[in-house]
């Protein structure tokens, strides 16, 4: 059984490195996103003896040296020092808030209606359907044929290795929702959940959630960890038995 401290450490350690991104870890973790995901730099995981202004100056300088014009930063309770007040002082815009949730997988209870079906992604056509969901929901650029093939190779190889899985849900046979999971130290990190707007409220997200938990358990995970938006997935996660362990806030700063 993972403790509260285990869960908070796992949440703080969670960072995504998109394919073709660049990264630096000194005073904090900085990731330069590829143009397909909107470009810019994402910052997180502050661990420094310097003060907040110095750490933020470093992040801004690195963002500029990469030729980027926007720094996005996600807060975490373990940041040392906390940059939130300094970001606000410099006019950063608060853009989003996610709630950190966790639940022992064998205790989750998800009410999935009969209409949606869920499946594990293994084929090129399924990858194409996932992309058709992600593009409008996340406002990203579509993959070309080579990109789709690379994505398929990544999905299938990590599934075979037992470290990742991607799930797709359908309503009336049409792909409408997707999400992924990554297995790390007994945790299932649930990420990237997206549902087409016209299909929301019909159980597709719940079907994706249930299938990810099933797959994660089969890959040896004991605890599910997810960062859910307060206005969308958070209420569903609470009803499914997930416990709220705090919030993380996103800021955007033009540099």
Q: Is residue 178 part of a domain?
A: yes
Phi, psi (rounded to 5 degrees) for 191:
-140, 165
DSSP 143: P
Instruction: Mark whether 69 and 123 lie in a shared domain.
Output: no
Instruction: Mark whether 10 and 75 lie in a shared domain.
Output: yes
Q: Is residue 103 part of a domain?
A: no
Instruction: Mark whether 131 and 223 lie in a shared domain.
Output: yes
Longest dimension (CA), the chain: 55
Instruction: Mark whether 133 and 154 lie in a shared domain.
Output: yes
- Per-residue pLDDT of the chain in tens (255 residues, 90 and over written 9): 799 999 999 999 999 999 999 999 999 999 999 999 999 999 999 999 999 999 999 999 999 999 999 999 999 999 999 999 999 999 999 999 999 999 999 999 999 999 999 999 999 999 999 999 999 999 999 999 999 999 999 999 999 999 999 999 999 999 999 999 999 999 999 999 999 999 999 999 999 999 999 999 999 999 999 999 877 888 999 999 999 999 999 999 999
Instruction: Mark whether 115 and 220 lie in a shared domain.
Output: yes
Q: Is residue 61 part of a domain?
A: yes
- Residues 141 and 51: their CA atoms lie apart, in Å, by 37
Q: Give the domain extent around 41.
A: 4-98+250-254
Q: Is residue 223 part of a domain?
A: yes
Q: Are 142 and 131 in contact (CB under 8 A)?
A: yes
Q: Is residue 93 part of a domain?
A: yes
Q: Are 133 and 127 in contact (CB under 8 A)?
A: no
- Residues 191 and 101: their CA atoms lie apart, in Å, by 12
Determine how many CB atoms are found less than 10 A away from the CB of residue 86. 17
Q: Is residue 105 part of a domain?
A: no
Instruction: Mark whether 135 and 178 lie in a shared domain.
Output: yes
Instruction: Mark whether 157 and 78 lie in a shared domain.
Output: no
Instruction: Mark whether 135 and 226 lie in a shared domain.
Output: yes
**Domains in the chain: how many in total?**
2
pLDDT on residue 147: 96
Residues 6 or more apart in contact with residue 221 via CB below 8 angstroms = 105, 181, 183, 186, 187, 188
Peptide bond into 155 cis (omega under 30): no
- Residues 127 and 143: their CA atoms lie apart, in Å, by 10
Phi, psi (rounded to 5 degrees) for 159:
-65, -45
Name the nearest CA neighbour of 180 among 161, 196, 201, 159. Answer: 159
- Residues 223 and 68: their CA atoms lie apart, in Å, by 37
CATH at 234:
3.40.630.30
Q: Is residue 245 part of a domain?
A: no
Instruction: Mark whether 115 and 232 lie in a shared domain.
Output: yes
DSSP 47: B
Tokens 């796992």: give the residue: 10
Q: Is residue 117 part of a domain?
A: yes
Instruction: Mark whether 88 and 121 lie in a shared domain.
Output: no
Instruction: Mark whether 16 and 85 lie in a shared domain.
Output: yes
Q: Which residues pair with 41 in a beta bridge?
A: 32, 71
Instruction: Mark whether 82 and 143 lie in a shared domain.
Output: no
């Amino acid at each position: 059984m993972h403790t509260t401290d285990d869960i908070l450490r796992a949440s703080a350690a969670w960072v995504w490195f998109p394919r073709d991104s660049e990264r630096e870890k000194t005073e904090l973790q900085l990731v330069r996103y590829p143009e397909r995901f909107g470009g810019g730099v994402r910052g997180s995981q502050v661990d420094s003896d310097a003060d907040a202004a110095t750490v933020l100056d470093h992040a801004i300088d690195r963002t500029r040296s990469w030729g980027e014009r926007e720094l996005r930063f996600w807060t975490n309770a373990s940041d040392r020092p906390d940059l939130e007040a300094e970001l606000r002082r410099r006019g950063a815009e608060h853009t989003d808030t996610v709630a950190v949730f966790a639940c022992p997988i064998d205790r989750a209870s998800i009410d999935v209606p009969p209409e949606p079906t869920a499946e594990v992604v293994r084929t090129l056509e399924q990858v194409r359907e996932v992309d058709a969901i992600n593009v409008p929901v996340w406002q990203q650029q579509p993959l070309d044929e080579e990109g789709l093939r690379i994505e398929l190779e990544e999905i299938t190889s990590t599934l075979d290795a037992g470290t990742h899985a991607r799930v797709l849900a359908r309503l009336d046979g049409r792909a409408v929702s997707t999400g992924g999971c990554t297995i790390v130290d007994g945790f299932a990190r649930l990420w990237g959940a997206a549902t087409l707007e016209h299909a929301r409220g019909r159980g597709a997200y719940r079907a994706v959630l249930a299938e990810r938990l099933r797959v994660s358990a089969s890959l040896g995970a004991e605890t599910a960890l997810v960062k859910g938006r307060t206005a969308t997935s958070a209420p569903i996660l609470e009803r499914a038995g997930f416990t709220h362990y705090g919030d993380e806030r996103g800021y955007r700063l033009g540099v």
